[in-house]
Each structure stands twice: as C-alpha cells, then as structure tokens.
C-alpha cells in the first residue's frame, strides 16, 4: 500500500505539472515559446550570518579574536548574487552561473522567448520565484518577489538582471508581458547588472510592479504567467502600458 501510495502521488505530480504547462501555453500561444514552471521559495537572506554575528558581538562588548595576518580582499571577486540567501561565497564573474546552478539549484532555460509560470502566488511575503535565462550568448537572472513595501499591502516585483557588467547590460532590452482575459500589461527596460543589488532595484521601483489586485487579475488559479523576451538594443527606455 505504501508503494502504491507513493507511485500514485508521483503520477498526480506529473499530471499537475502537465496541467500547469497547458495553462501557460493556452495563455501564450506563440509558437516556439518554452514554458518553465517555477515554484516559490521563502527567502533565507535574513538568517544570521557570520558578519551579523561579529557585529552583534561588537555591540555587546565582545571583540572577535585578533588575527596577525590581515585578509586582503580581491577586487575582482564578486559576492554571491542569489537574492534568496546570505551566501558567503565569492568568486569571479565567469563562475557565478555555475555557483547558482550547483549550490542554489537554480534552473536555467534557453531560448529567445520563454514563459515564466510562477505558482502559488497566494503565499505570504516575502517569497521569491527565480530562474536563469540563457539567450544571445549571455545569462540573465529573472527575479519575481512578493514583498510588503507597506505593512499589510504586499506587492509583486519582477526584474531581469544580466550576469555581467553594467556596460554589457546596456546592450540589451528585456520585455515582461502578462496577457489574460483580453488584458495585456507590458514592461520594457534595460536589464540591470547582477553586480548591482536586487534589493536596491526593487526599492527604487525600477522594475515591473504589481499590487495584489492587479496580480490576481492576470493570474489563473494562483499561477502567474509572464512572457519574457530579450533583444539586443542600444536604446535605453522603459515603459509600462496596459
């Protein structure tokens, strides 16, 4: 009976996954678009870190042990860019993708146009949906976050970050599009570099911002389908239209 129950549960999961794909393809019927179902993850970035522990000890008058050799920081190293975790990892920009895939298990999808299907939009904030997008010889990080900018009023923030330098990011334009019930919402902008903080991008509002009622208007049974397209462009413009 236990074996039968486990097998039956796996079959139900597969049926649910295929149903999610069908819903997304029904909304975005353009040929050639790939659909990626992304499950939510609660952010752990506010978990206590070594730096926080040192700061707390200093405030309590407990000094950390003294080291005779001072550690010199390599300016070519970049910190972990995953917005979910307070990860102490540092490395060169060329190996950021490998770190995100192997350590944080972030999936990567290839194609000029894809559909990002975020599930369980009803979960309480803060919640993140994250995926990497490989296109035009570069890798991008799409972050969808549910966060309360004001207490009791959660909002959804979606942005695209290039895993590269700000100069490289200026060469691209990304478009996020929601389309449901004869309504269309589109945001088009230049991606920000992953070297910039995702939190600052969200705080500045330089991204697609949806309040709860607007997100529900475009969602389907708790899932939100976002069409993503990336092009090369030298034109720096951003717009939101409905």
Sequence ranges of the domains in the chain: 31-42+73-232
Q: What pLDDT is recorded for position 5?
A: 54
Q: State residue 18 phi and psi, 5-degree precision.
A: -65, -35
Segments of the chain scoring below 70 in pLDDT: 1-33, 43-75, 234-242
For the chain, the distance separating the N- and C-terminal CA atoms, rounded to the nearest angstrom, is 52
Q: What integer pLDDT is reported at residue 9 of this predicted model?
A: 57
What is the structure's pLDDT at 179?
A: 94
User: Distance between CA atoms of 232 and 236, rounded to whole angstroms?
Assistant: 11
3-state secondary structure of 164: coil
Compute the C-alpha angle 94/99/104, nearest 5°. Answer: 150
- Read off the tokens for 151: 């207490």
Q: What is the pLDDT, as a whole number, of residue 128?
A: 92
Q: What is the CATH number of domain 31-42+73-232?
A: 2.60.210.10
The pLDDT score that the predictor gives to residue 53 is: 35
């Amino acid at each position: 009976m236990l074996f039968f129950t486990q097998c039956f549960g796996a079959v139900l999961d597969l049926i649910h996954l295929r149903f999610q794909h069908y819903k997304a393809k029904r909304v975005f019927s353009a040929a050639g678009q790939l659909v990626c179902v992304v499950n939510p993850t609660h952010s752990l970035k506010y978990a206590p870190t070594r730096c926080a522990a040192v700061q707390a000890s200093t405030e309590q008058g407990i000094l950390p042990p003294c080291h005779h050799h001072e550690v010199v920081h390599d300016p070519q190293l970049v910190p972990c860019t995953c917005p979910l975790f307070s990860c102490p990892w540092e490395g060169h920009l060329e190996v950021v993708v490998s770190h995100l895939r192997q350590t944080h298990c972030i999936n990567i999808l290839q194609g000029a146009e894809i559909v990002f299907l975020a599930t369980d939009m009803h979960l309480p904030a803060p919640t993140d949906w994250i995926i990497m997008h490989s296109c035009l010889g570069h890798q991008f990080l799409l972050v969808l976050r549910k966060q309360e900018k004001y207490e009791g009023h959660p909002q959804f923030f979606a942005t695209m970050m290039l895993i590269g330098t700000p100069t490289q990011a200026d060469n691209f334009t990304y478009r996020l599009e929601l389309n449901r019930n004869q309504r269309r919402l589109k945001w088009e902008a230049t991606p920000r570099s992953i070297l910039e903080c995702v939190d600052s991008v969200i705080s500045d509002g330089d991204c697609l911002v949806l309040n709860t009622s607007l997100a529900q208007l475009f969602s389907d049974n708790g899932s939100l389908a976002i069409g993503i397209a990336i092009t090369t462009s030298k034109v720096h413009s951003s717009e939101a239209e409905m």
